[in-house]
Amino acid sequence: MKKIYLLIITINLSSFSYSQNIALHFDSLNTHVQTTYSGISGGTGARTIEAWIKTTSNHVPSASGKQGVIADYGSFTTGGRFTFNVLFNNALRIEVGGNGLSGTISVNDGNWHHVAVVYNPSATSEYSLYVDSVLDVAGNLTITTNTGSLTNLRIGKRIDAAGGFRGSIDEVRFYNYARTLAQVGAERNDEYCTLPSGLVAYYKFNEGIANGTNTGKTITADYAGNNDGTLTNFLLTGTTRNYVAGPTLTPGLNKSVVTASTCVTYTSTSGKVFSSTGIYYDTLTNSVSCDSLVKYDITVTSRIITQSITANGCGTYVTQLGKIISTSGTHYDTLSSVTGCDSLIEYILTITTNNSTVTQSGNTLTSSDTWESHQWVDCNNGYSPIIGETTRIYTPPISGSYACVVYRGTCYDTSTCTIITINNASINENLRDLYQVYPNPVKNSLFISYNASDLRIQTIQILDVTGKVMTVVNRNFNQIDISELATGTYILRLETGSGISTQRFIKE
């Protein structure tokens, strides 16, 4: 039979409808952005990190200041981390773990500053620090640069969780080459409209609204690739630890992410058709005539199971759509839609069935179910349980109608009632003339008066009205203690050499 599947599209559109000139405010508590960009490792890979920063915090250690990390990655070993920060003289500093190079231009005046660090292992001065397109300092380190790969690029805090930045950061750019002063200065006031070659990570922080409620904006996009960042310990509301107003920049491209699941195909905004699972990109033109990048994360499946249910059924199980299932296993219900596809509900079922058949042999009843629990009941007494009769086989002591309730787990079933007639040939009611039972009703002791030579009593049994034996007397037949019996009606059953006699009495 041809299967038709339901087109179910679940779209999580993190469509970063970017407002321009937005930045992120950090503080020294725990705020940072953890990206998945691994950076450039080793000591021979040239690199450049640029950012816009704004701070009024004092970072001078002698004045109880604290290091303010702009960006960091690598391993916490000598020469193994690449830390771009603000420290001595409230100026820029580059550290590699064990040694660093410090600038002289103070950047904690509360204004926005464009900052950059360039590492060029082929240059006479391998490291250069720039502030607002001005070379602050160039020089070398005494420790060999050998950046590790333990921790990916982190913005706003060092990789060992120290040195939290206190202020705002915007437009973090990572290049895989050493940029010149002219390159750093030429593009610092513009958001990119077209991504340049060599830009390997780019975080614009334009996802939120300045000082607005941005609690759902916890992911910041990597415009140069797929290494998005996660915002950690931000309030995302109010004027601190939130998206805030950034520097005045010429707006550029924006980026959005579409996540979709489909059982057939998915069509993008521009009309591209995706028919298999994968990551796809589309380029549109935004309101400022720049490229608008759209990332599509598409999952194509031939069947969508909308719900999986594990359940037990007694004999049968009825699904939500009314389908009756009588066998254990995995079953499906199909939900049809007007779009021409179906989706499924999966049922993982355990169906329990009981064999409640009872067979009769003489006065003995036997349940056909051999391995679960049983309870015999008196059909003539409202199906009340017969105390103690919980095995497969039951021989009623008196005539009546009986059934067996069979239990298996939480399921149970009751057999049909079977009528048992005790052979009256063995009951000799004439024996009653040979003995007297008194008092009746009785409280504690039941007395029997008889002539021992005429009435040869072998056993006396006291039964309740369901036929359960309550007391057996093998001697001292004259007086029987019944003080422990509950109030109610009982049957006195005398077995003699001449037959059986029964008589009812009431216990008060």
From the first residue on, what is the mean pLDDT of each consecutive set of 10 residues in the chain (508 residues)?
A: 34 40 89 97 96 93 80 96 96 96 97 98 97 97 96 96 93 98 90 92 95 94 94 96 94 77 75 81 72 76 65 75 81 63 75 82 87 87 88 86 87 88 60 83 89 78 81 84 90 80 86
Q: 234 and 372 share a domain?
A: no
Do the domain assignments include residue 10? no
Q: 179 and 212 share a domain?
A: yes
Do the domain assignments include residue 7? no
Q: 348 and 371 share a domain?
A: no
Q: 196 and 313 share a domain?
A: no
Q: 111 and 206 share a domain?
A: yes
Q: 229 and 369 share a domain?
A: no
pTM above 0.85, yes or no: no
Q: 171 and 275 share a domain?
A: no
Token readout for 76 is 């916490």
Kindly report the CATH number assigned to the domain that includes residue 389.
Answer: 2.60.40.10
Q: 38 and 180 share a domain?
A: yes
- Any idea which residue has 């103690």 for tokens? 388
Q: Look at residue 349 in the predicted model and tell me its pLDDT.
A: 82
User: In whole angstroms, what is the distance from residue 424 CA to residue 499 CA?
Assistant: 10
Q: 165 and 55 share a domain?
A: yes
Q: Look at residue 287 in the predicted model and tell me its pLDDT.
A: 66
Do the domain assignments include residue 329? yes
Which of these, 280, 221, 226, lies nearest to 37 by C-alpha position?
Answer: 226
Mean pLDDT estimate for the chain: 85
Q: Look at residue 12 in the predicted model and tell me its pLDDT.
A: 38
- Any idea which residue has 């179906």 for tokens? 342
Question: What percentage of the chain carries pLDDT values higher than 70?
Answer: 89
Q: 89 and 173 share a domain?
A: yes
| Domain boundaries, position 444 | 426-507
User: In whole angstroms, what is the distance from residue 477 CA to residue 16 CA?
Assistant: 98
Q: Look at residue 305 in the predicted model and tell me its pLDDT.
A: 61
Kindly report the CATH number assigned to the domain that includes residue 53.
Answer: 2.60.120.200
Q: 53 and 67 share a domain?
A: yes
Which of these, 137, 159, 206, lies nearest to 35 by C-alpha position?
Answer: 159
Do the domain assignments include residue 2? no
Do 438 and 506 touch, CB atoms closer than 8 A?
no
User: In whole angstroms, what is the distance from residue 93 CA to residue 337 CA?
Assistant: 62
Q: 410 and 486 share a domain?
A: no
Do the domain assignments include residue 3? no
The alpha carbon of 75 is separated from its chain's Cα centroid by a whole number of angstroms, namely 33
Token readout for 148 is 């590790």
Q: Look at residue 8 in the predicted model and tell me its pLDDT.
A: 35
Q: Look at residue 201 in the predicted model and tell me its pLDDT.
A: 97
Do the domain assignments include residue 436? yes
Domain count for the chain: 5
- Specify the DSSP element, H or E, that contains 184: helix 181-186
